[in-house]
A and B are shown apart, each in its own frame.
Chain A
Amino acid sequence: MTVLRKIIKPCGLHCIKVNHLGVTLGGQEILKDINLHIHCGSLNAIIGRNGAGKSTLIRAILGDIPHSGNIEFKDSENGRIQKLKIGYVPQSLNIEKQTPVSVYDMIAAYQSNVPVFAVKSHKQRERILEHLQVFKAEYLIDKQVCNLSGGELQRVMLSMAIMDEPNLLILDEPVSGIDQNGMELFYKTIYQLKENYDLAVILISHDLEYVKRYADKVVLLDGTILKQGNVKEVFSSGEFTRVFGKKEEI
């Protein structure tokens, strides 16, 4: 199995450090002094109310908006700094009904230089299929992206995100188009990913119930980091109560 070959157990030795990250947009300070320490093989959930800067933090890490501070990727054993590869799964796509973009078109557009309007590269197709298989989505390759269900799209996006074997996977949890079963499956898949691939996961989550069950580390955000730690530490903190108005049962 080609897919199995890709499985590399996380060593827990790589780490991603976000140092003093700040974002100011249009004269307004949206994020300040964000410090994060993320290990490979861990699932890190970012929580906070609407407008807390969760999406901004992700966009800053992705390099979509300018930020102060820095992000480094190190081998914690010998301190060697490497280039960080990031895979990203957005919350949604800008695509309408009837758009003639197939799953192949979309993935090839991001992954290759062979112009998708002219030719269908056999090599790319094989490569894409191989990664779709990881999420049991290979049957979707010729489907139109706009006709996929929320769960199907999520699996396709995940396949695309892991194609370059990223060190960090950033996910914006889907909020619509996925039912309870779909969410369960989504979290299980993420869990398997971080167990079986040498990568760290940052997940923006809106569902505290799932965070409680699956996250290794929770970051409570509101302009800056109010509290971070394991589920228990964060959920029982005073900061958590202040933001969400109640203590969660642990």
Chain B
Amino acid sequence: MEIFSWLQYDFMKYAFIAVLIITPLFGMMGTMIVSRKMAFFSDALGHSALTGIAIGVVLGVNNTNISMILFAIVFAILLNQLSSKVVASTDTVISVFSSCSMAIGLAILSKGGNFSKYSSILVGDILSITPTEIIYLIVIFAITLGFWILGFNKLLAVSLNRTLAKSRHIPVKLMENLFAVLTALIVMVSIKWVGILIINALLILPAAASRNISENMREYHFFSIVFSMFSGVAGLIISYYTNVATGPMIVIIASIIYFATYLWGRKHNM
């Protein structure tokens, strides 16, 4: 079949598999990120990737992925704690720490004029993914799915009313931290393929679009995952034929879906 001719290349095959793993994950996590108004938080996490890499470079770590992931986890928990303790509003706190950490990262990485070596992480390149890296994605996918099945009700309960959740013996703090850590993990393992600049769009857009037309949690998840996967697969194929970077193409399609659902929702008074 002519339309599937792109699958004859290994890099396209791997990219296709990666998209099939990453996008449902993003669709699923995005629902909670949007519900909990954490869009800015996940954005800050994405930006912290640079700092994590920079710390790895300074410490002379061979695999900067590890320093990147560890830093993001620490950063996520720190932000979570700070937002609940500091009097300033959450977005101010996140903004301060995110700008500060990103500036440190950029300063270190640009020392000696070497930044171009790292600039690929800004846009990401899903076509360069290898089979081993796909296995990491599968592991993360399994962990997230497990957490979602066991912990989603509790997370929802916490997001609706913390005191009420506490009165029902739900470990509020633990659930919030686990969710933050998991978000950090997912953002970090996919950032090389999706890119710092657009990773947040991929987390937020499908869920936000789904919200426009959903009335309950099952619809919310179903549409969010469907929109996310559709944008991913369509974006990959279109980018192949138009010779445009894959990440931005996926985001463009997700945005179109968002506006379409917005109009549809308005028309049907959702």
Residues of A within 8 A of B (CB): 59, 62-64, 86, 88, 90, 93-95, 98-102, 104-106, 108-110, 112-120, 142, 144-145, 170
By a CB distance below 8 angstroms, the chain B residues around A64 are 162-163, 166-167
**How long is the Cα–Cα vector from A114 to B217 in the complex, in angstroms?**
13
Q: How far, in Å, is A104 (CB) from chain B's closest CB?
A: 7
B167–A117 contact, CB under 8 A? no
A117–B163 contact, CB under 8 A? no
Q: How far, in Å, is B56 (CB) from chain A's closest CB?
A: 36
Of B35, B156, B212, B270, chain A has the most CB atoms within 10 Å of the CB of: B156
B217–A117 contact, CB under 8 A? yes
B219–A109 contact, CB under 8 A? no
A-B contact pairs, 12 of them (CB 8 A): A62-B166, A63-B167, A90-B161, A100-B216, A101-B160, A105-B216, A108-B153, A109-B157, A109-B160, A112-B153, A117-B218, A120-B218
B163–A59 contact, CB under 8 A? yes
**How long is the Cα–Cα vector from A88 to B163 in the complex, in angstroms?**
9
Interface hits, B135-172 → A, CB 8 Å: 148-150, 152-154, 156-157, 159-168
**How long is the Cα–Cα vector from A250 to B10 in the complex, in angstroms?**
85
Q: Chain B, 178-189, contact with A by CB distance < 8 Å: what is the 0/1 string?
A: 000000000000
By a CB distance below 8 angstroms, the chain A residues around B67 are none
**Cβ-based interface call for B31 (8 A):** yes
B153–A100 contact, CB under 8 A? no
B149–A115 contact, CB under 8 A? yes
Of B35, B148, B161, B221, chain A has the most CB atoms within 10 Å of the CB of: B161
Q: Say yes or no: A63-B166 contact (C-beta < 8 A), given A98-B211, A100-B216.
A: yes
**Cβ-based interface call for B255 (8 A):** no
Q: Say yes or no: A110-B168 contact (C-beta < 8 A), given A100-B211, A116-B152, A117-B152.
A: yes
For residue A120, which residue of chain B has the nearest CB? Answer: B218
**How long is the Cα–Cα vector from A182 to B62 in the complex, in angstroms?**
66
**How long is the Cα–Cα vector from A63 to B153 in the complex, in angstroms?**
20
Q: How far, in Å, is A120 (CB) from chain B's closest CB?
A: 7
Q: How far, in Å, is B252 (CB) from chain A's closest CB?
A: 24
By a CB distance below 8 angstroms, the chain B residues around A119 are 218
By a CB distance below 8 angstroms, the chain A residues around B160 are 93-95, 101, 106, 109, 145
Q: How far, in Å, is A227 (CB) from chain B's closest CB?
A: 27
By a CB distance below 8 angstroms, the chain A residues around B211 are 98-100
**Cβ-based interface call for B215 (8 A):** yes
Q: How far, in Å, is A118 (CB) from chain B's closest CB?
A: 7
B164–A102 contact, CB under 8 A? no
Contact for B153 among A94, A109, A142, A170, CB less than 8 A: A109
A116–B218 contact, CB under 8 A? yes
A118–B149 contact, CB under 8 A? yes
**Cβ-based interface call for B65 (8 A):** no
Top 6 A-B residue pairs of the complex, sorted by shortest distance between their CB atoms = A100-B214, A102-B216, A100-B220, A62-B167, A109-B156, A64-B166
A101–B217 contact, CB under 8 A? yes
Q: How far, in Å, is B264 (CB) from chain A's closest CB?
A: 13
By a CB distance below 8 angstroms, the chain A residues around B217 are 100-102, 105, 116-117
By a CB distance below 8 angstroms, the chain B residues around A114 are 153
B164–A88 contact, CB under 8 A? yes
B148–A100 contact, CB under 8 A? no
By a CB distance below 8 angstroms, the chain A residues around B164 are 88, 90, 110
By a CB distance below 8 angstroms, the chain A residues around B162 are 64, 94
**How long is the Cα–Cα vector from A111 to B157 in the complex, in angstroms?**
9
For residue B212, which residue of chain A has the nearest CB? Answer: A98
For residue A59, which residue of chain B has the nearest CB? Answer: B163
A62–B163 contact, CB under 8 A? yes
Of B159, B212, B216, chain A has the most CB atoms within 10 Å of the CB of: B216
**How long is the Cα–Cα vector from A27 to B214 in the complex, in angstroms?**
46
B161–A144 contact, CB under 8 A? no
Q: How far, in Å, is B80 (CB) from chain A's closest CB?
A: 16
**How long is the Cα–Cα vector from A95 to B164 in the complex, in angstroms?**
14
Q: How far, in Å, is A88 (CB) from chain B's closest CB?
A: 5
Of A64, A93, A114, chain B has the most CB atoms within 10 Å of the CB of: A64
Interface hits, B106-137 → A, CB 8 Å: none
**How long is the Cα–Cα vector from A114 to B215 in the complex, in angstroms?**
19
By a CB distance below 8 angstroms, the chain B residues around A108 are 153
B167–A116 contact, CB under 8 A? no
By a CB distance below 8 angstroms, the chain B residues around A98 are 211-212, 270
Of A104, A113, A170, chain B has the most CB atoms within 10 Å of the CB of: A113
A100–B157 contact, CB under 8 A? no
**How long is the Cα–Cα vector from A110 to B164 in the complex, in angstroms?**
9
B152–A94 contact, CB under 8 A? no
